[in-house]
Structure 1
Amino acid sequence: MFLRIDHIGIACRDLEEQISLFSDTFDLTVVAREVNEEQGVKEAMLHISDGEGGGSYIQLLEPLTEDSPVGKFLAKRGEGVHHVAFGVQDVTDAMGKISERGVRLLDERPRHGSMDSRIAFLHPKDVGGMLTELVQAARR
């Protein structure tokens, strides 16, 4: 079902500072920046590599407000890994199969994600405590 690890989402307080850290330390390149009002974040996608199933990235997330999901995460846990995202061929199909296997979905239908992808989140309590995202990359 999973094609690759699409990205690791990292919550941070200062997006520009973290972009510098990952760019300077690991030679990663920013390939996209977005403000996602629906999710309450400013974000940057830094490219790691490409594989048969698509690219892999680090996604840096700075909250727009303290009461956004990432803002609450930072207040409770501090900076660090927020979620893991797996690339799938068809997010709607993957959601159905995963739901049939007893995993709760946080999204009833796919929504707009980074770089024009379609995404959905799984309930962390049903996936070993890890917030898990499904990503269907945009066709390019």
Structure 2
Amino acid sequence: MKVSHIEHLGIAVKSLDTAIPYWEKMLGTKCYNIEEVADQKVKTAFFKVGDTKIELLESTSPEGSIGKFIEKRGEGVHHVAFAVDGIENCLAECEANGIQLIDKAPRGGAEGLSIAFLHPKSTGGVLTELCENKNK
């Protein structure tokens, strides 16, 4: 598997309204996209930092993965996402190498990306997301 760059760092927050002003001041840039991903029960906000993005994640339901994460661990870094080409092949390679997959097949994510998660039990405790921009 070849990773081209860190696509984004996902940060779980209780409120985008509270978090966005902090990150705008911290990064010296404006949030360029806010989007809801209904099937993942999350609202996202993005900031560009070089080739990498910061993705803020606010739960739209306590039953969503971000709501559960915040309830259990509080706000903070949720995942690291890597940009790849051929996400299906990357998942097959990961599985062949004994990495536990959360997603056996890619699904739709924010900003039109194809995404899939690898389980932190087999990635050194780090929830890892693979992302592919099939529209480039």
Is the counterpart of residue 18 in structure 1 residue 19 in structure 2?
Answer: yes
Q: For residue 75 of structure 1, what is the aligned residue in structure 2?
A: 71
Pairing partner for 1:134 from 101, 115, 130? 130
Identity %: 38
Query: For residue 54 of structure 2, what is the aligned residue in structure 1?
Result: 58
- Counterparts of 1:19 and 1:90, CA distance in 2: 32
70-79 or 18-27: which moved more?
Answer: 18-27
Distance 2:16 2:5 in 1: 25
One-letter code of the match for 1:90?
G
Partner of 2:89: 93
Letter paired with 1:65: S
What TM-score do the two structures reach when normalised by structure 1?
0.92
Structure 2: gaps (5+ residues): none
Tell me, in whole angstroms, the C-alpha distance in 1 between the residues paired with 2:105 and 2:43. Answer: 23
Asked if structure 2 preserves the Cα contact closer than 8 Å seen for 1:11 and 1:62, the reply is: yes
CA distance change for structure 1 residues 138 and 115 in 2, over 3 Å: closer, same or farther? farther
Offset of residue 103 of structure 1? 0.3
RMSD of aligned alpha carbons: 1.1
TM-score relative to the length of structure 2: 0.94
Q: What is the CA distance between 1:138 and its match in structure 2? A: 4.0
- Stretches of structure 1 that go unaligned for 5 or more consecutive residues are 51-55
> Contact 1:115/1:138 (CA < 8 Å) preserved in 2?
no
What amino acid is aligned across from residue 72 of structure 1 in structure 2?
Answer: K
Structure 1 residue 37 displacement after superposition: 1.1
SS in 2 for 1:62: strand
Equivalent-residue separation in structure 1 for 2:80 and 2:40 (angstroms): 16
Q: 2 CA distance for matches of 1:90 and 1:32?
A: 25
2:105 corresponds to which residue?
Answer: 109
Q: How many residues in Structure 1 have an aligned counterpart in Structure 2?
A: 135
4+ residue runs over 6 A deviation: none
- What's the CA shift string for 1:57-82, capped at 9, x where partnerless? 00000000112110010011000000
What is the one-letter code of the residue matched to 2:48?
A: H
